[in-house]
Amino acid sequence: MKRFFQPVKEDGSFKKPSLSSADPLLSTVGDLVSVAGIHTVEAGERERREPCKFLTWNANSLLLRMKKDLPEFSNLVQTLDPDAIAIQEVRMPAAGPKGGQKNPSELKDDTCSSREEKQVIMRVLSSPPFQNYRVWWSLSDSKYAGTALLIKNHCKPKKVSFSLDGKASKHEPDGRVILAEFESFFLLNTYVPNNGWKDDENSFQRRRKWDKRMLEFVVQLDKPLIWCGDLNVSHQDIDVSHPDFFSNAKLNGYIPPNKEDCGQPGFTLSERRRFSNILSQGKLIDAYRFIHKEQDMERGFSWSGNPVGKYRGKRMRIDYFIVSEKLKDKIISCDKHGHGIELEGFCGSDHCPVSLELSQLT
């Protein structure tokens, strides 16, 4: 969320792509090949076990975090040792010339500045504690939105795709989806569009369409789902620090004609009701709330407003792990790793990392 709200085939062939002809280091990072937008995993390298430890984090610019806050996040990853790391708001542009066709699966590196930025990212990912992960990207055309998914080499998925239908060759607009299929479950990383403040195609209408597609996606799955990321919704009153403040929030005094659309993006009645319907129809549960029944004013929120101004101390829980009801007895823990209005543990972002641990699924 903005700070101010404003499959894999068994016979898939494999070779290492050259990520950058200018930097030999980059060609050593990642051993994926993109086939029509779907990444396949070599049958001979099938994972020996499935992921059971997960971490999700809206980085609010992965490049900035790696430049300014890398030690804190690296220490967290080293401590938690997750099998999969889902990142939102990567904010790195997709490869491709200006005005030309883009490749959302690759980082841009056709200018001096973009090449330097890519080198920063790839050097970090080739060093501890990230060197044993494989990374998938879904990127926007510009430094906006975008997602990344890091999965340990011994936890290889059957298939990785980049749209809610799981079959399309194209990426979702702005790189908002990465879907990994394993033998016993799907892992979905999403950066859900912000609802905005007005009933136009880039705000309410865009979010309604997204929620409709999410509902269609979850009801047709043939195996359990682990859905994580910045979902840009606070489901219940206990998921925000100041319900009245968020319910009555306005932008420049504007009041939507439909009362259910009034309030802070992410806390309108319409968004919350659609989210409830997705959970209900998809037979899904909120892993954090399944474990933590009561409101926690210190550690119960994942987004915090600007420490200066009217949003100081105003916090929301908008980053989630949503899991199929079939997995609820597998939940060991689901925790937030940041706290307080000074954003301690947020690793430089305005969102804190959230972790999930399940007992072994297979």
Q: Is 232 within any annotated ligand binding site?
A: yes
230 part of the active site:
yes
Q: Is 350 within any annotated ligand binding site?
A: yes
Q: Is 351 within any annotated ligand binding site?
A: yes
Catalytic residue among 235, 337, 339, 351: 351
Catalytic residue among 191, 288, 311, 320: 191
Catalytic residue among 230, 261, 286, 319: 230
Q: How far apart are CA 54 and CA 189, in angstroms?
A: 11
329 part of the active site:
no
Q: Is 195 within any annotated ligand binding site?
A: no
Q: Is 230 within any annotated ligand binding site?
A: yes
191 part of the active site:
yes
Residues involved in catalysis: 191, 230, 351
Known binding residues for Mg(2+):
58, 89, 230, 232, 350-351
Residues at the annotated binding site? 58, 89, 230, 232, 350-351
